[in-house]
Structures are given as structure tokens and as C-alpha cells.
Structure 1
Amino acid sequence: MTAMTATILILTTVSLLSTGKKFRWCTLSDLEQRKCAELSKVLLNVLPPATISSFGRVSCIRAHNTHDCIEKIRVNKADAASLDAGDVYSAVKLYGLTVVAKEVYVEGTCMFAVAVARRGELNIQKLKGTRSCHNGARWTSGWNIPFGFLLAKKYLMWDENQPLTHAISGYFNASCIPGIGITTPQLCILCQGQKSYIREKNHFCESSGDEPFYASEGAFRCLKSGIADVAFLDHLTMRNATESEQEYELLCPDGSTASLNAYATCNLGHGPGHAIVTRYNFQKITKKFLTLIQNLFGKKGKEKARFELFTSAPFSGKNLLFHDATQYLQVVEEEAELSHVLGLDYVALLQALGHEGSSLSNSLVRWCCISSAELQKCEEWALNVKSDPLVCVQADSMINCIELIKNNVADAVTLDATHTYFAKKCGLVPVVAECYVAFVSCPPHEKIILVDDLMQLVYLATPSLFSGLMLQDKFSPKARREEGQEISTPRTALPPTFAVALAKKNDKHIKIHNLEGRRSCHSHVYSPGGWLLLSQYTVGALENESLSCNISSAFQDFFWKSCMPGANGNLCKVCIGQKEMEGGKGLARCAANHNERYYGNMGTLRCLLGDPSGRNFGDVAFLEHHNLLQNIEYLESSGWGTGNTPSDFELLCPDGHRAAIEDWKACNLGLVPPNIVVTRSMAVSKVNDFLRQSQEPSLGSTFQLFQSQQYGESDLLFKDATHYLAPTSHLDYEAIIGTSFFQLVESVFNCTHADILDICRQDTCTYAAPH
């Protein structure tokens, strides 16, 4: 920025602020008062003399605590303050204030929440009964993130009919959580602020600088004083740890520990940093004021030699007015939703922790359905559950479900392996995975035979599923080797399905290597078998340097026309939608759900056969092998594929040959990992318990969770091939779907655009230089 431009900006800002009224900044300590007063003094010295009388001064309003600060701004006794994101949420939701700017650090707009203890004394999994210090009540790194983590891992148990403070009081032996209030004395017992019956003189356990253990510096001081065992604070305090403080270490989520400077990899999660709030009708003036002082006194300010906005050392303190680690203030767009300012995941976490009071949704499981057929099955499921009530939420695609779960409108959905990559990038977590060939049916208390020895993983994780049953490793790879059986396919942690290419037997000229320019049928866009794995045998196999690595675009050029539900252009020309209309295509044509009759595994078969009128068909279908024979038989009996039997179809093999339809183990396009149920981290326990109870036999009920043909479709809510749902919350996505598949997905989306990834990137903490 040139000197002339800066001068014009300053004069413009001053003219906008020329109301003859002081700009009132709310402070929380005497040291902040000193820094604020110096800002006011220096500002008057650097502004053009002609504007000083009309501008007025910065006035520093001393508040008793953060709540008092918020109230003073609300009633027009102060104008702005920088607050922790937890207090920002309360200020906006409960007091009608608005956010005007965010602090940006080297790591971005977010903070890592860390747990600190003396070396060799603790791990994060065994904190019950210890003494704790926290930077502030309902603050991001001292309350929201750590308690969200402890609850999600079930280290801390919470009966939501009771206040969360009740559960915390029973978990820790003693604590100092500034700002928690006098109703929970156990959580203040370690604090050291001055006590008094006079409110203005009482600083004990208050969220202000007069409580020695307030904020992250105070929480660390509390730990170092020896009266506590663990401190919960933000990573910014760790950045400047001294050699004398190396006797302390970080507690990592997996139970290990790390040095204080390893906060990027050893933390309990991240959340938004501090933000500046003001009244709604004062936001324009506040933004102009912040722009002015930042241009003058920020990291690149023209007057920073006189005063440094983000430095507190000259005033014998730390993090006064703003965090010392602040690189610059990022002005928030006007009318920006709070969920987008603080992040969708963070807002959902606060709601789950009861920041808006108890909610009916906490006692419900809201399942996301992507079609009218799924909604019908879900509603019948809801009538047959004997656990928490089930509510069925309507969406139009798996991607839409991911958005609804992030926005806390829905709780759970089953996703294919490609969409679980999106879920991971969007901050959702796995709950259970579908298990397809888990074990053969047998009466209770008799021997159970595992088809795959890797199912031992499931047994070790959830032995209760096998209660009363004996395990036999008869069909393990080791046992089959001993019997001389060849094992040619790599294994994932749970049994996969196979992606196959299917053609009509009498179309002998169609091979896997001559599909370019043909009509194709795919279960849906981004499907593991019909989109991702297929690309390696079609568009990915072309030796054309000009070909874009964007798979979606490449498919448009490769096939003549297709039905790939959820896509567009010629990839939708074969689709027929929900209902054939006279003179045109049907409703929901090419929709990424079962309302498009060519969607999914059964829909892909319909597409290959063509509609009953003999139109709109493909030359080849890409789908998964599970329930393939049953689906062909169902379409024949239902009248869609009259006269067609499994013997009328053949598989297209990667080597160019064709094979019988039952030969999918030898003739396939690759392994498709199991589908996974995903949710938000705070809802894992609720969804997992609900699914466990949903799988238990219900006396007198005819509802089948893993059957769909009675609704006229296949694979509704879950794949019909599912035997049971295996808990996977102790695993990450890569462990569930396999490293090779995960790496393939990641490489593809490095250059293939997906809108959902753009949406979720907006919810992450990335550093961007100021414009």
C-alpha cells in the first residue's frame, strides 16, 4: 500500500468516525487499560491535526468480566471488544451482538486446543480424579474442544438431563475454570482471585485479568504453581515456552505425549480464535476503526514504531486487547452467518454441549434419506425401533446429507467409500461400517464360522457382538494357503465388494478396451465402482497428453451418452427420471438418488436393459457384484426385465476377455471398500448405540434393516448385502477403506473439482495473507 493510498484511507476513515463521540473499547484488566490509553494517546498524535477535534478519542471502558463487557456493549456503554469464540457465540446468540473481525495467526484463524501436564505423570485417557485448570468457561480451547473430545471418547460421561457442569464436577477432583459462576464451587476451588461479597471487588474465578489463573497464560500458571495436574489452553501459549518449562508435555489424543512445540500434531482439536464483536448498528464504524488502527499500528503499519497493536510486552502483560500472536485482523463480510464465521463444526459442537440450552434433537437420531423410497423405509424403521426416537430427514443426494450433518440438521447417513473421503474432508467421523460376508447363519450358542480372518478385528473391537458364540478361523487366508488355495486379492479391514462391468451376452463385440463412444450406465457420479475405479480402465488409460486429469470432464468426452446420476451434459442423456411423462423425460431425471430409476445397482441394471418401452438403454453397466443375481431375478419378476436371466449377461474383464456373471472374483475392476455410516464427533456415541439396538431382534416385528426390494429398490439406507454393522469409531477412514483406495481418491480429487470440497475448505483454519 502506498503512502498516498494509506493517507487517503485514514482521512476517509476519520471522516466516517467524525461524530464527536468517542470510540469505546472494553477492557478486562488494568494492564489492558494502560495499553488502551496509550493507543488513544498515540492515535491522536498521528492523525492529521485538522481532524483531531472532530474525531474524538478512544475511550477505554473497564469491565468486571467478559459477561459484563458483552452487556456494556449491548446497552451502549461500550462499543467493541475482542473475545474468545465461545463468548462470541453467546454474545451473538443470546445478546444480539454481531461479529466484525477475526484475529488471524500464523496457523490461520483457528487455535489448537492442548492439554498440558508434567512429564511422565498423565495421559489423556486417565484424567478422571485429577485437578485441572482451564483458560475460561465455555471457551474454545479450555472447555468446548477438550470436553467435546472427552465426551466423544466416552472418557467423560454426561447424562444430558443434568447440566454439563455436574458431569465435569464429578470427573475432576478440583478445578479452576474462570467464569463458570458460583453455582459450581468445585470448578472454582483452585482459583486464586480476590474474594469479596461486593461484586466489584470480587475477582475470584472471574473471567478477567484480576483472576491470576484467567486465560491461557493463567491456566499454564495454575499448572506451574503445583496445585493442578493438567491445564487446558490454546497452543499460542506454547509457542513461546521457555527451557525451564520443558518439564511439561502435551497429552495427545492417542494416549501418548509430545513436547510443548508439537501442538500441530498433538492436540485435542481446533476451533476458531478470538473475534471482535459490536452492536449490529455500529458494525460499519467498528470495521472502519479496526481498519484504521491496523493500517497505522499493525504488523505492516506505517506508525508501528510509535505503537504496536499486537504487542503487550511494553505494558508488562500478554495478549492485551488482542493476542500477541495476531498477524492481522480479518474483517468479516456484512450479514455473514455466525456458522460461517466460527465454522459449522464448531457451532454444531456448541449446540451439542448445550450452549443454547437443552434441545429435543439431543434425544433423537436424525437419519438422512436421499429419496422417497429411502424415506418410506426410514419411516417404517422409525416405527420399529426400541431405542432413541428416529426422525427421517429428506435430502436429495449423499453430498446434500454431508452438508445437513455439518449444519446439525441431520445426524447420520450411510456413504460409499468415495463419499466418505468427502466426509473426512468435511470433519465428519466414522461410526460403523457395513459387513457383507461376516458369518454364516447359525443358531445361538453354536459355533460361528468367520469367512475372513480379518473379521477378528471386529471381534477384538466389539466382542459383545459375538456373545455366546465360538470363533473358528477355518476360512482364513492362512488356512486356505495350507489347503493349497490361491489368494490373489489384497484385503481391507472389512470384506469388500467387487466393481464389475456388465454387458449383454449377445453383444459380443463389446470389450473393456473398446468402450469409448458407447452408451454407458453408472450407479451415480463419484461411485467407487462406476466412476472412480472405472476411470483406470477408461479415461485414465488413454495416452492423450491433452486429456484433462479431471475425471468428470474426461468421462463427458469418453462416452457417447450415459446415465450417471448426479452428473450433467451427455452423461445424463440416457437417464429417465422418476416417471415417464408424455412428450418428454420424467421428473428427477439424472438426480443423484433413487428417484432417478437408473440410480444405484438396481438402477444400473434397469439402464442396461432399457425401460419397458425399449428405449433409453446402455451398452455397458458399471456396478458392484453384491446382490447382482437377485436384482436380475427381481427385475425379471417385476416386469422390467421380462425374459432376462443371469445367463443373458457377461462380465467384461480387464484383460479384454469376457466371463460368466458369477465369475466376479476373477473378472472385476477392483475392490470396493465397505459403506460407512458417518456423523459429527459429538454424536458418535448416540448413533452407535442407536444402530446397535436397531440390529437386535424385535419380537413381532417384520421390518428388515438390510432388505429393500419390498420398497421397489435395492440398497436403501444400507446395502442389502449387509449382515451387520461393525463399530469403527476407533479407526480412521484410511484404516477402514484401505490405504490404496484412499490414496487413489486423494490423487483424483487433487485435480477433479467437487463443490462439497470447496464448501468444507471454508470451514477449515487456513492462513491467508491480507489483501
Structure 2
Amino acid sequence: MMKTVILIVLITFSLLASGKKFRWCTLSDLEQRKCAELSKALTAVLPLTTASSFTRISCIRAHNTYDCIDKIRANKADAASLDAGDVYSAVKLYGLTVVAKEIYDQGNCVFAVAIAKRGTLDIQSLRGVRSCHNGARWTSGWNIPLGFLLARNSLSWDEAQPLSQAISEYFNASCIPGVGVAAPQLCALCQGQKSYVRDRNHFCETSSNEPFYDSEGAFRCLKDGVADVAFLDHLRIMSATESEQQEYELLCPDGSTAELTEYSTCNLGKGPGRGIVTRNNFQKITNKFLSMIQRLFGHKGKERARFELFSSAPFGGKNLLFRDATQHLQLLEEQLEIAYVLGLDYVALLKGLGHEGSSLDNSVVRWCCISDAELRKCEEWALNIKSDPLVCVQATSMTKCIEMIKSSEADAVTLDATHVYIAGRCGLVPVAAECYGGDCAPAAETMEKTGKLIHLQHKALPPVYAVALAKKSAKQIHIHNLRGRRSCHSHLYSPGGWLLLSRHTVGAWQNDTENCDIASAYQNYFWKGCMPGADGNLCKVCIGDGEVEGARVSSRCAASHNERYYGNMGALRCLVGNPSGRSFGDVAFLEHSNLLQNIEDLGSSGWAKGYTPLDFELLCPDGTRAAVTEWAGCNLGPIPPSTVMTRPVTVTKISDFLLKSQESLGSELDSEFQLFQSWKYGESDLLFKDTTQYLVHASHLSYQKILGESFIQLAESVFNCTPAGILDFCKQDICASSSN
């Protein structure tokens, strides 16, 4: 290993010392000047050191960012600083690698903001206006604003057409440098020089020769009165003059407006800033070069008096070579997966916007299934829906589904309330909520049918209730003496069998102790049990698939229907024991909604004969017991409805798909396939709860609204001190909001 490092260093020195200069790609005459000054400064200071091989820099002038990428690929230049959108293209489409990121006050991330003249616009009235954007496929001028408009269903995009065409139809006219010739409307407002001679044609290109290029240019376009709205990053308005602050305002997502200084609370989203790219085989050399110039000329550089790396004022420009707001360059490890450089959400957004070209993934809905039984039902759904391509992908648990959707390996899944909270923390958003019971909304609430999904004007979704169930014959058991008993829970993180239960057991028991990790508290509280997805003694009662001995090992305690004690039906099976009469619990924690049906199914499915609702009782919070039909007055708390979650950019696609599914497959009793029935697959609550009457349109609601304040508060207090691997996975996202 050491020999390899020494060899690379020697090659680096010999390449640079032998007259092969480090070649930086520039996009304007002003950048050429700054680059030349950097070269001069290096020459002046480096002979005094041992690393004189770095004194030679060559400044390679390119027409635009994609010309830079081509030059680096063709070994005619070595490195360039690019917007994150172009970094992604450079890596995924052109085989380059990213070696460093610019770090600003907010880290590597920028806020995407929309700016307009005071009193002229709001975010809901953008259709038909003139727009200027800092660059095509750029973070703050294209990716985040378009993702925002698509998620709100403001912008209609049939993925069979180019996205640029949909944007042309949305705005009246635009200047989006770098958009190409496919959509002339999107360059109509640009003012770069037009020429048939390649070197003189600067119209609508990503270089400083286009006056409306970059965030500086997009703001100029607005100030010149050419456009009504400008999409750019917050770094430009951090340095807004007093008159700019008086004349312009930010457009906020909720339809309000705000001062330019309020970009951290009034923005369209957050995404990665610029990065430096090079060829794969040149990463170590580029890394060494960047480290050297930063050590000499960065904000803490030894030779900063001679040359300032992150200042452009001496050259009469802004953001030359690097953003002026850069605090320092963060050098990256080699061969890092691009999703970990730019963030999972951002990469998923780019895929959703078609940055890798059209693919089969764009045209299909990939539904996440968590068991073999769900997969069978999903495949039948796919055969019956006909109008939309549905692909069924399998995961091992609901948390794995959240990971897969966040990583753009799946598109949608129905989650219980606790997992909705986790998914919301991970950046996923609601599409539709399940509605249970004969009357899903109080009469006072007005409902209108928008197509086929019911749209509630006010949130009025009836909850289900968490209940504790015991056999009637076990008369000694009540809610206050469950410690040390055998327990059956629908699954790890389940709203009723894990979250709400904590209030009545480990939450009360642990109140004045320092250990608030309820996952480990449950391990100590119950003697043993089955909580699919957990470990330790809370897996000891689980039985796996209960049929094939060889498969038992892998499916035992799995957080899916592959564990026969999973879910509401599973917890009931666990309470009565397996068909041989072994492996049972003293108490089961489940939901009331299909309890009577599940008790009936125990016999009809051949699991356990002779049980009726009279054989069970509910354990009430006050220590008494009640009949299973008395759940309204004897429960552990209300559970918000299960909700279909997806990435923001795919909301409309999933919503449209569910409209068609529900219209054709929802509740027609004579239909061969039923969306809300699972009995024919040998389980209950597959893909959706069986008690679902219909799906309610919910993309206008936040996950917090659906879950309600008290549920959110409980979830926050629990997850603040209970480790959850899925939340750690989501925290990796480089632009995750600190409030998440």
C-alpha cells in the first residue's frame, strides 16, 4: 500500500515538474485573469518550498460548462468547478469523478429561492409569467424549482415528452442558460451574442458571456425588467444591496412573500452547491493540487495577502473559479458513490426529472412489498390494472421500503402511522390516506370528488384504536401487571404495539429513570414475546413461516408477513398459539379495526378451531377488562390512518395511478381482484388494510397534519432517545434540514 502511495506521489511530481501543467478549465475572460494570477502567485511562493512541482498551472478557456466536461474527458483540461446538477451529469453520463465540494456558511448546501418585484407575484401565480433561471439542470434554478412545481401538481409533465417542453408551456418565455436548442422559448429572454461562428456564439450558454448566466445573471435579468421572476441560490442575495432588499421579495411555498434576508425560512428547498470534477485517474493529483492552493491562498492561507482563492473583486467579477461565498473546499475520499456526495434526496430528484435520459423506471410505478404474500397480491394488481404499468419490488420491512423509495429503487408504499412519521423525517411525502368505517367523515365536513380519489377539504380521517387483548380465561392479567409476561406485538415500531403501548407500560415504568430507550426497555419489561423486527427475548415466541422448517430460520421474527405472527392477524395468532398449541403469549397488542374478522378467520383458515369473540377481552387503561366490542371506551389510544408515501417529485404520478386503480379495482364486489382484500393470499392487511373503504387524496396535507399533534409529540419524544437505524440512514443526507 505504502509503495503505491509513494509511486502516485512520484508520478504526480514528475508529471507536473516535467512541464505538464495542472490545467484548470475557465468559463470567461475574467476567470482566465484570476487563473493567471493564481499561476503567478504559485510561481512566486513555491520555489521557497520543496514542492516546486506545483508552480505550473495552465488556464484552459472553454465555451461553457459542457465544453469543460468534454475537455476534461479528452485530457485537454484537468479540473473545473461545476454546479451540483452538472457534477451529477459529469459523473453519471460522462464518467468523470468528483474530488471536492465547496463549503459555505450553510455547509455544502444552497437554498433555492424565487425572487420577484415587491407586490407583483406569489408562488401560485407563476403560470404564464416570464422567468430567468441561473442554469439548466442546476440545483437552484432548475432541479429544485421544477421538483417543487411538479410535487405541487402546478406543472403538468407527461414523461413521454421532454421536461423542457412542459416548462415552455408553463412559462410565457424564459432565459435558462444551457437548456439547448430543443426548446427555443426557454432561451427567448437571453441576451448573449448570437453568431453562426462557434467561438462567437454566446446566446443562452453557460458562461459569463451570456449576461443572464448564473445566479448573478438571473437576478440581473429580473432587475432589468426582462423577467417577472428569477430562480437562483441564496448566496447571491446574501450580498443584496439595500435598494435590492427594498425593491424585491422572496416567494414562499405557502403563497406568502418575505424579505430577501429570510431565505432560510422562505425557499423552495435545499440542495447541494458546487463541486470540483476531474478524470478518475487524476483524482489523487487534483486532490493534492486543491489541498496545496487552499493551504496557501484559502481563508486561513499562509500567502493570503498575495492572492485570495475565494475572492473575485480584484478581477472585476463575481464567483470566478469558485463561489465567493466558499469558506473552504472539502476534499472527498476516492470512489465515493455520487448519492453520498450530493445526497440521496437530490439524486432521487434528478432521476425523477430524467437527468439520465428516459428509462423504463420513469414510466412505471414501483410498489414496495414486504413479503411473499404481498408480492403475490401486488402481481395480481399489476395484471388487473392494465392502464398503468405496475412493477412490484420486494423489501424485507417497511423501513427497508422507506430506504428504497428514498434511494429511488421503489416509488411508493402504504405505511402505518409510526412509519409515516419516520418516512416524513426521511423526506418522503403523503399521497393518499386510508379511510375506514362506513362514515369516513363527519356530516359537517364537506367532501368533493376530484376524479376518483375523495378529497377532504378538512382533515377528517377516522382513526383506528390500539387495544390490548387477553384470553378471557386468563383472569389474573390486567394492564398494570404485564411486566414479566409473554407479549405479542404486530411489529417493531407499530403504532399500537410499540409506540402508544409505551405510555401504558415502559413509559410509565421508566418515567423517573435516565434510560428512555423504549426498545431496550421493552426487552426488560416483558419476559419474552414476538415483536417482528426486534431481537433478543422479543423474538423468542416468534415462529417464522410456521410451515417449511428450512425457511423458518430466515423468516423467524422478520418484520414482514413471512413471520406468521406479524401484523394484527399475527399478534392474534401469537396470543392463541401455533396450530400445535405451542409458542403463545399472554397478551396481544393490535388494532381494533378488523379484530372480529380476524377472530373469525382463525377457524376458517385452519389456524385454531373454536375461538369466538367471547373467548377474549380487552385490557383497559384503568386496570379493568371489557368485551372486544367495547374498544371505543377501552383502548390504548387512537392511531392515525395508514398512508401511501412517496418522493415529492413522484406525487402526481402515484396519485394518478391510485385514482385509476381505485376507480377500476376499489370495491367492486364482483371483481376478481380486490384492492382492499387479502384473505385469498392467506394473510390480512396486504398492501392496504382490509378495512379500508377507499383512499383519500392527501398530497395537500403534510405528514404532520395527517398524524396529528399528540401522535407527533409522542413519536418525537420516543425517537429522540430510542436509536433507529433508518433515521440514521436518512440523516446521511447532506442537505437534511436540522429540524428533521
Same fold, TM-score > 0.5, yes or no: yes
Matched, 1:705 2:672: no
Deviations 1:674-710 (A, max 9, x none): 0000011111111111111111245863211111112
For the pair 1:550 / 2:540, whether they are aligned, the reply is no
SS in 1 for 2:730: helix
Q: Is the 8 A contact 2:452 2:662 kept in 1?
A: no
Aligned to 1:47, the other structure's residue is in SS state: helix
- In structure 2, the partner of 1:536 is 503
Provide closer, same or farther for how the CA distance between residues 583 and 122 of structure 1 changes in structure 2, counting only shifts above 3 A: closer
Q: Which residue of 1 aligns with 2:432?
A: 432
Task: State the match for 2:369 in structure 1.
Answer: 369
Distance 1:455 1:435, change over 3 A: farther
Aligned equivalents of 2:661, 2:452: Cα separation in 1: 15
Residue in 2 that maps onto 1:482: none
Counterpart-to-counterpart distance in 2, 1:648 and 1:435: 29
Structure 1 residue 262 displacement after superposition: 1.2
Taking a change above 3 Å as real, the CA distance of residues 451 and 734 of structure 1, as seen in their structure-2 partners, is closer
1:731 Cα deviation after fit: 0.7
RMSD, aligned α-carbons = 2.3
Q: What amino acid does structure 2 have at the position aligned with 1:538?
A: T
Aligned match of 2:734 in 764, 768, 771?
764
Change (3 A) 1:518 1:320: same
1:744 aligns with 714
User: 1:301 matched to which residue of 2?
Assistant: 301
Q: Is the 8 A contact 1:610 1:616 kept in 2?
A: yes
Amino acid aligned to 1:90: S
8 Å CA contact 1:24, 1:61 repeated in 2: yes
Describe the shift of the 1:648–1:186 C-alpha distance in structure 2 as closer, same or farther (beyond 3 A): same
Aligned AA (1:594):
H
Give the structure-2-normalised TM-score: 0.94
Summarize deviations over 1:215-243 as a string: whole Å, max 9, x none. Answer: 00000001000111111111111111111
The letter of the residue matching 1:554 is: A
Aligned partner of 1:442 in structure 2 is none
Q: Structure 2 vs 1, CA of residues 277 and 199 (structure 1 numbering), >3 Å: closer, same or farther?
A: same
CA drift at 1:346: 1.5
Alpha-carbon distance between aligned partners in 1 of 2:97 and 2:659, rounded to the nearest angstrom: 43
On the 8 A contact 1:578/1:595 being kept in 2, the answer is: yes
Relative to structure 1, the CA distance from residue 410 to residue 290 in structure 2 (aligned partners, 3 Å threshold; closer, same or farther) is same
User: Which residue does 2:219 correspond to in 1?
Assistant: 220
Contact 2:421–2:712 (8 Å) recurs in 1? yes
Q: Report the number of matched residues.
A: 726
State the Cα distance separating 1:89 from its structure 2 match: 1.3
Contact 2:488 2:575 in 1 (8 A): yes
User: Structure 2 CA distance, aligned partners of 1:46 and 1:509?
Assistant: 85
Amino acid at match of 2:684: S
1:326 aligns with 2:293: no
Q: Is the 8 A contact 1:164 1:353 kept in 2?
A: yes
Structure 1 residue 732 and structure 2 residue 702: aligned? yes
Specify which of 555, 572, 578 is matched with residue 605 of structure 1: 572
1:665 equivalent in alignment to 2:664: no
Q: SS of the counterpart of 1:195?
A: coil
Secondary structure at the residue paired with 1:596?
coil
SS at match of 2:250: strand
Please say if residues 454 and 697 of structure 2, whose CA atoms lie closer than 8 Å, have aligned partners that are also in contact. no
Please state if 1:526 is matched with 2:493: yes
Matches within 5 A, 1:281-430: 281-430=281-430
Equivalent position of 2:465 in the other structure: 498
DSSP-derived class of the 2:500 partner: helix
Contact 1:454 1:493 in 2 (8 A): no
Which letter maps to 1:727?
A: H
Q: 1:737 to 1:460 in 2, by over 3 A?
A: farther
Instruction: Note the C-alpha offset of 1:253.
Output: 1.4
Contact 2:297 2:307 in 1 (8 A): yes
Q: Contact (CA 8 Å) 1:438, 1:724: kept in 2 or not?
A: no
Please tell me whether the aligned partners of residues 298 and 309 of structure 2 are also in contact (alpha carbons under 8 angstroms).
Answer: yes
2:129: which partner in 1?
Answer: 130
Shift in Å, 1:21: 2.2
Q: How far is 1:543 from its partner? A: 4.7
Structure 1 residues 137 and 697, CA gap change in structure 2 (3 angstroms): closer
How far the C-alpha of 1:724 sits from its partner, in A, is: 0.4
Structure 2 match to 1:484:
none
Q: 8 Å contact 1:81–1:278 — kept in the other structure?
A: yes
Number of the residue aligned with 1:477: none
Quote the offset at 1:338 in angstroms: 1.0
2:534 matched residue in structure 1: 567
Partners of 1:531 and 1:712 lie apart in 2 by: 25
Match of 2:248? 248
Measure how far apart 1:454 and its partner are.
6.7
User: What is residue 447 of structure 1 aligned with on the other side?
Assistant: none
Q: Distance in 2 between matches of 1:584 and 1:337?
A: 34
Report the 3-state secondary structure (helix = DSSP H, G, I; strand = E; otherwise coil) of the residue aligned with 2:123.
coil
CA contact under 8 A between 1:438 and 1:452: conserved in structure 2?
no
The answer to whether the Cα contact below 8 Å between 1:437 and 1:451 also exists between their aligned partners in 2 is: no
SS of 2:125's equivalent in the other structure is coil
Change (3 A) 1:753 1:19: farther
Deviation at 1:96, TM superposition (A): 0.8
1:124/1:255 contact within 8 Å kept: yes
Query: SS of the counterpart of 2:555?
Result: coil
What is the CA–CA distance in structure 2 between the aligned matches of 1:614 and 1:505, rounded to whole Å? 17
- Classify the secondary structure of the residue corresponding to 1:696: helix
The CA distance in 2 between the partners of 1:144 and 1:451, in whole Å, is: 38
Counterpart code for 2:720: N
Q: Does the 8 A contact of 2:87 with 2:275 survive in 1?
A: yes
Give the fraction of aligned pairs with identical amino acids, expressed as a percent.
71
User: 2:427 is aligned with what amino acid?
Assistant: G
Comparing 155-164 and 742-751, the one that deviates more: 155-164
Match of 2:687 in 1: 717
Task: Tell me which amino acid in the other structure corresponds to 1:101.
Answer: A
What amino acid is aligned across from residue 24 of structure 2 in structure 1?
W
Deviation at 1:152, TM superposition (A): 2.1
> Aligned ranges for residues 159-308 of structure 1 at < 5 Å?
159-246=158-245, 247-308=247-308
Matched, 1:614 2:581: yes
Match status 1:84 vs 2:83: yes
Relative to structure 1, is the Cα distance of residues 391 and 71 closer, same or farther in structure 2, using a 3 angstrom cutoff? same
The offset of 1:51, in angstroms, is 3.7
Change (3 A) 1:268 1:583: closer
Change (3 A) 1:548 1:492: farther
Take 2:408 and 2:89, find their aligned partners in 1: how far apart are those partners? 18
The equivalent of 1:629 in structure 2 is 596
Tell me the TM-score normalized by structure 1. 0.91
Structure 1 residue runs of 5 or longer lacking an equivalent are: 1-9, 440-449, 472-490
* Structure-to-structure mapping, 1:510-525, within 5 angstroms: 510-525=477-492
Shift of 1:75: 0.6
Shift of the 511–124 alpha-carbon distance from structure 1 to 2, 3 Å rule, reads same
Matched-pair contact (CA < 8 Å) for 1:492–1:738: no
Residue 479 of structure 1 corresponds to which residue in structure 2? none
> Paired residue for 1:57?
56
Select which of 640, 647, 652 maps to 1:685: 652
Retained in 2: the 8 A contact 1:461–1:727?
no
